[in-house]
Structure 1
């Protein structure tokens, strides 16, 4: 049984813990929070028995072999690095880090600690419909581009409108639309089409100086991909990938609950499958497969494929931020 420790006690952590337990391969054993009572409140209802308010003691504990990190974005790098240095299996909620320099440091740290593993919790990559879309793209006679839209109003934006500065909407904590919902469509683009030749990002900045929404253009040799993302409004548009006469249609490029192919007559054929009720179960299953048998040839291949994909997505997000002139404090503070 995988001994799971967690950092972060929000709704996404609860969803991951439930997914992990649903696989039958994990047991939540430990919870870290700056306040022990908060750790106990979350942990006891989920079966944990060990609680920490000291981060070093948490990472050094033998009660944990795998750590799930769901702290504010700007804390991911240091916490992931500490986990690797303690030879743990580290799962980091997206975005895994804030910039490409941090990702390079984590890769270097992994080389020094070969027993450790690092995963980004990019859930849709592990869902069957993600692979279905990738396969269908390869079958198109010609790819002529794509429009991927993921815009969901954030409940925390109400606080911004009230004059507050929640973490998810601050530069200090590496927040904004691109670093949140944008990660999903960045994974789609890189996973389905590879790395673009050139990028541009046109952000709509809000009062806290982060991007509340924005449009990204990814240029490939023979087509463009447009990404529409936002946390300050809702969109109900489908996302599409354009072939010559066929079009791949998705209800959401992140949820991927419905995927279909429309031919030149407009006839629509479902090509996807119904995903699990908890969308984090597939990733929890995949991570457990690697954790339980890291030397297996397929598991090792999959692990490095995911890590390379994660690094490319980090690079894409960083390049988009540079285009949009969005700078985080950590961008100038990495000197390792």
Structure 2
């Protein structure tokens, strides 16, 4: 049983803990929160800490980090230095400079694994998409969409500066909702040759929505995402005549394959109630049997690094600078 510590007491932390405990492979033992009352509300049974050093020294094997993006680097660094396994929410780091420092630190702690919690690429329906892509003789391009109105945008309109929409926290549409389509594209097709991001910027310089183009040798992939509006447009990967149709690139509830000559085949299974169960299982398997799953771990880490590079290149193309840069 992996003893789990959690940094961050928001809804996504709650969802991950529920998923982790559902697998039967984790037990929540420690919670870090800036306020003890918030930590107590999060868990009745776990030990609650308001001091990060004391939290890292507590009875945990793996830490799940769901703090604002700009805090990830220092918190991950401290976890690795304490020889703890690390699961960090996307976006993992603000830029490749931070990632390279963490990667160098991992070399000094060979028993530590670092996972970026990109839950959708672990789901069986995403693996069904990847298998179908591998069968398609030609890829002509595609578009992935994830636009979801954020309640925090209401706060921004009211004159506030919510964390998820400020450059100071390495945040904005690209490094929040945009991670889902970008991660899916890179996981399926690897590093693009070039990228460009057309961002709709807020008054504070952060991006509220935007369209990213990832150019590959034979095709382009377009990612459309944002926190200022809702979109119900499907995502798709186009072959020559055939097409993979995805209801939502983040949730992946319904996926079908249209062969272009009259037949459409559903290739998805019913989605689990908690979409984080698959990643929790995958991470546990690697931590419990690292030698057996060494290649799988290397691929996950490589994809995470590639996504970090692409996100940074996209930001720079739109002239978005984070203080962490």
Between 212-221 and 265-274, report the one with greater CA deviation.
265-274
Structure 2 residue corresponding to 1:223, chosen from 203, 219, 226: 219
Structure 1 residue corresponding to 2:158, chosen from 156, 162, 166: 162
Deviation string, structure 1 residues 202-257 (Cα, Å, up to 9, x no partner)? 00011232110001111111111111011100100000111011000000111111
Between 175-184 and 129-138, report the one with greater CA deviation.
129-138
Q: Give the deviation of 1:275 after TM superposition.
A: 2.0
Q: What CA RMSD, in Å, does the superposition of the two structures yield over aligned residues?
A: 0.9
1:57 match? 54
Structure 1 residue corresponding to 2:203, chosen from 204, 207, 210: 207
Q: Give the deviation of 1:161 after TM superposition.
A: 0.7
1:320 match? 314
1:261 match? 257
d(CA) in 1 for partners of 2:203, 2:261: 46
Paired positions, count: 325
Moved over 4 A (4+): none
Q: Give the deviation of 1:295 after TM superposition.
A: 2.6
d(CA) in 1 for partners of 2:36, 2:267: 48
Superposition map of 1:237-276 within 5 A: 237-276=233-272
Unpaired segments ≥5 residues, structure 1: 332-336
Deviation string, structure 1 residues 150-182 (Cα, Å, up to 9, x no partner)? 100001000011111100000100111000011
Q: Give the deviation of 1:266 after TM superposition.
A: 4.4
1:12 aligns with 2:6: no
d(CA) in 2 for partners of 1:245, 1:113: 49
d(CA) in 2 for partners of 1:266, 1:214: 34
Q: Give the deviation of 1:91 after TM superposition.
A: 0.3
Q: Give the deviation of 1:60 after TM superposition.
A: 2.1
1:334 match? none
Unpaired segments ≥5 residues, structure 2: none
Superposition map of 1:1-150 within 5 A: 1-44=1-44, 47-48=45-46, 50-61=47-58, 63-150=59-146
| TM-score, scaled relative to structure 2 | 0.98
| TM-score, scaled relative to structure 1 | 0.95
Q: Give the deviation of 1:77 after TM superposition.
A: 0.8
Superposition map of 1:304-319 within 5 A: 304-319=298-313
Q: Give the deviation of 1:84 after TM superposition.
A: 0.7
1:277 match? 273
